Amino acid sequence: MKRENFYPVVLALLWGLNWPAVKIVLSEVPVFVLRSSALAIASVLLLSAALLLRRSLVVARGSWLPLALAGALNIAAFNIFTAFAQLNTTTSRAAILTYTMPVWSTLLAALVLREPIGRDKAIALMAGAAGVTLLAAPVFAAEEFLGVILSLLAALAWAIGIVIQKKWPIAGDPVATTGYQLLIGAVISVVCLLVTRPALPEFLSLPVFGAFLFHVAGATSAAYLLWFTILDRNSASTSALLSFAVPVVGVLSAMLLVGDRPSPADTAGFAAILLAAGLAMRSSRNRDKSAPETSRL
């Protein structure tokens, strides 16, 4: 089995576990302090890795605009909206609502990029949408509207960023371009930090410090590199659908780490989303059999 087939699994684990990790960090660290520091450190880590690996840091002149837009949407908007969403609803609900992203991304890709929606993608889309609906229903019942709106804004920003990257591919080494996008997200977060001027934490407890380290090294540096690699090798809709497994990991880890508890409807939602992820992965494998690989990590 190709190692690329494990990328979505590793990504689901890293991003899924990141939801409770961020919730833990936010108990002591303000949103813009977290996002500014984490994105800045992660960008330095990746750009330093690119130098050590002797990767080119050059980006084609025509790629800077889509790179900046992708950084603003995929990184800054997504990370800021999801952090505030977790402060206004439960971690599991924020994760599930944010992962309506594959629905919007698949639809946008069909409209803007003219990507076909085959049988597997159509079933995956319907199963994923059904799963998200089951898991999101209690949020609406509880009238946690701000958490709902922020999560959906994060999903929409991410979906638009995906389509932009597929419409105008970024020419450059993936390690370097991922580092640049994280740097753009850090700059935007720093501007927000300077405007809002929140109180800085005097110290971090051990659990918060550990969660922060995982967030920076695993869920930001490594996970975004994996994500942009998946996006480079697959269509926009397939890439988005492959991420449907992330909220399942997010909800299960939230149960273990921050005390969230699923209902029977949640369990049905998990099953539907796992079906969607499996079909998306099968669609990706079928595409790989009919087309040559385009890039290497």
pLDDT per residue over 207-220, tens digit each? Answer: 999 999 999 999 99
**Residue 233 or 55, more confident:** 55
Both tokens of residue 256? 């273990």
- pLDDT score, position 286: 60
Phi/psi at 226 (5° precision): -60, -45
Q: What pLDDT is recorded for position 80?
A: 96
Which residue is listed with tokens 């920003």? Answer: 157
The pLDDT of residue 115 is above 60:
yes
Query: For residues 133 and 224, which has the higher predicted lDDT (pLDDT)?
Result: 224
Type of residue found at 126:
M
pTM value is: 0.81
Over the chain, what is the mean pLDDT?
83
Mean per-residue pLDDT for 95-117?
A: 80
**Mean pLDDT across the stretch 24-45?**
95
Mean pLDDT of 179-192: 96
What's the rounded mean pLDDT across residues 159-171? Answer: 90
Nearest-angstrom CA–CA distance, 240 and 103:
8
pLDDT at 164: 92
- Local confidence band at 6 (pLDDT 50, 70, 90 cut-offs): confident
On the question of pLDDT at 135 being above 80, the answer is no
**For position 44, what pLDDT does the model report?**
95
pLDDT confidence of 131, banded at 50, 70, 90? confident
pLDDT class for 271, splitting at 50, 70, 90?
Answer: confident
**How far from each other are the two terminal CA atoms of the chain, in whole angstroms?**
17
Among 175-189, 242-256, 282-296, the minimum mean pLDDT is found in: 282-296
**Side chain identity at 206, as an amino acid letter?**
L
Asked which of 73-77, 89-93, 149-153, 232-236 is least confident by mean pLDDT, the reply is: 232-236
Task: Give me the pLDDT at residue 278, please.
Answer: 67
For range 113-123, the mean pLDDT: 78
**Do residues 169 and 53 touch, judged by C-beta distance below 8 A?**
no
The pLDDT > 70 percentage for the chain reads 84
Give residue 245's identity as a one-letter amino acid code.
A
Residues 82 and 98 sit within 8 Å (Cβ to Cβ) = yes
1 pLDDT more than 80: no
- Contact of 173 with 49, CB cutoff 8 Å: no
pLDDT at position 123 over 60:
yes
Distance CA 130, CA 147 (A): 20
| Contact present, 285 and 51 (Cβ < 8 Å) | no
Q: At CB < 8 A and 24+ separation, what contacts does 45-52 make?
A: 45/179, 45/216, 45/217, 45/221, 46/175, 46/176, 46/178, 46/179, 46/182, 46/221, 46/225, 47/176, 47/179, 47/180, 47/183, 49/175, 49/179, 50/173, 50/175, 50/176, 50/179
pLDDT at 294: 38
Q: Is 291 helix (H, G, I), strand (E, B) or coil?
A: coil
Q: Which has more confidence, 137 or 185?
A: 185
For residue 247, pLDDT over 60 is answered with yes
- Asked if pLDDT for residue 183 goes beyond 80, the answer is yes
pLDDT tier at 295, thresholds 50, 70, 90: very low
